[in-house]
Amino acid sequence: MEINPVKGTHDIFDKEAHSYRKIEMICRYVADLYNYQEIRTPVMEHTNLFIRSVGESSDIVSKEMYTFEDKAGRSITLRPEFTAGIMRSIVSNKLYANADLPLKLFYLGPCFRYERPQAGRYRQFNQFGIEAIGEPSYQLDAEAIAVGHRILISLGIPKIKVVVNSLGDEESRARYREALKAYFKDHIENMCSDCKRRYEVNPLRILDCKVPEDIEIVKGAPKLHDFLSPESKIYLDSVIAALDEIGIEAEIDDNLVRGLDYYTGVVFEYHVVEDGEIKDVGALGGGGHYGKLLKEVGGPDLEGIGMALGIERLALIDQVVNKNDVLNGPDFYLIGMSDEIIEKNFSLADIIRSEGMSVDCAYHVKSLKSVFKVAERKRAKFAIIVGEDEIEKRQIKVKNLQTQEQTDVKLDDMALVLRSMLNEYMEAFYASQVEMK
Ligand code: HAM
């Protein structure tokens, strides 16, 4: 009997795996540009951590967590997001103690949410994210937004919409909550059961409701912006102005409250602008400022800001934007014309690899025609052919699989010549990519 993958999970291979690898490389590279240091935390945490941080009123905690009892009866949860675990780790390891604040961390890895699967929404998915803790500044908020934006731009996504809002300080939020309660009082009877629960626990969450009839009611609700203190408004304006200075246009979205309870102050999301084959797959990422989260999980009273991108969603768009990407094959495919030569090719391949160029090999003798087909399917840039004739002349034949051009290369000059052929190939490739865009 065939065993299917678990609903909401997917296997990543071939071109998609190439996308993931490229996206992850870009994320790491951009994290380095801003000096965020890598942190890796466990996939499993105590359930209580998420209840205390992400919050009981959130959909994530109330409906979507993969929670189980381990053999000793502890309640364990597979992380639905990273931020809570990062805060726990900062406290467990006292990472704030001898650090020059802000502490700047980045992470990459799988998360789990029991959601209804659809395009760009999975039950196991991957996030890249950053957190900056201590020394709050409007610039750090703007920087967090800029990190995600730079990654999206580096992927070649043509148009990105950045939306921002402010949840204000404790006092403004409390006043807003009261205003929402007063407004929804007359409607709540006719709203969904989730909204009824949200009304009791945290009326702000009602604004996230996706039920069409409820969305209509939400439209008439008081606006958060009208309850913000002057300081919160100035702070949000400073973040928008800082972004503007570096060429990022951020738009205020009054309804943006984000689905996690730990946010205070500035929140934001990135969306792709639909264009031809590029389709909206939900927020590409999001984040915000959190004032009390570290303290909530037992640490010092330090504020933080962070953001996370969904790798699956970026990969979906990458598959459209960069569909002509052919970088995921070996540089060379090494072909031997006899068993004896194939035996010797083992060390020849090793020499080329030691020079930092990638090689895959034909391990058995086959007809030239079929072996060239294999080289093309493997997306090799060049084929190297070694026959009796070549051995005698101490040379190899190198065929550019794009142009079909063949060159004899002396074994003594092999490393240098192969390197320059490869450089030329890549220059031509990048030039053709630029022309295509
Ligand atoms: P989030 O908005 O819940 O924020 O998730 C961030 C991103 O993860 C989303 O914008 C989306 O791209 C991706 N994502 C979320 N759920 C799924 C899913 N089921 N399938 C595929 N992709 C998904 C957070 O998780 C916060 N921890 C972000 C943050 C960091 N705030 C402060 N620091």
Q: Residues 323-373: pLDDT tens digits?
A: 876 667 899 999 999 999 999 999 999 999 999 999 999 999 999 999 999
80 in contact with ligand 1, CB cutoff 6 A = no
pLDDT band, very low/low/confident/very high, at 432 (cuts 50, 70, 90): confident
How many H helices and E strands in the chain?
15, 16
In the three-class reduction of DSSP (H, G, I as helix; E, B as strand; rest coil), residue 235 is classed as helix
Strand partners for 104:
132
Task: State how far the Cα of 236 lies from the Cα of 232, in Å rounded to an integer.
Answer: 6
Sign of CA dihedral 54, 56, 59, 64: positive
Token pair for residue 170?
Answer: 């404790």
CATH numbers and ranges of domains, the chain: 14-169+229-321 (3.30.930.10), 332-436 (3.40.50.800)
Nearest residue by C-alpha to atom 14 in ligand 1? 310
Token pair for residue 144?
Answer: 């967090």
284 in contact with ligand 1, CB cutoff 6 A = yes
**What is the chain's alpha carbon radius of gyration, rounded to the nearest angstrom?**
27
Q: What is the mean pLDDT of residues 95-103?
A: 92
Q: How many residues does the chain have?
A: 437
Task: State how far the Cα of 305 lies from the Cα of 137, in Å rounded to an integer.
Answer: 9
What are the DSSP calls for 151-162, one per residue? HHHHTT-S-EEE
265 in contact with ligand 1, CB cutoff 6 A = no
Percentage of the chain modeled with pLDDT above 90: 83
What is the pairing mode between strands 395-400 and 37-38? Answer: unpaired
433 has pLDDT over 70: no
Atom of ligand 1 nearest to the CA of 313: 12
60 C-alpha to ligand 1 centroid (Å): 10
pLDDT band, very low/low/confident/very high, at 436 (cuts 50, 70, 90): low
Nearest to 360 by CA among 368, 350, 188, 72: 350
Task: State how far the Cα of 227 lies from the Cα of 400, in Å rounded to an integer.
Answer: 65
What does the DSSP 8-state code read for residue 279? -
- Model pLDDT, residue 139: 97
Angle (nearest 5°) at CA 334 between 329 and 335:
130
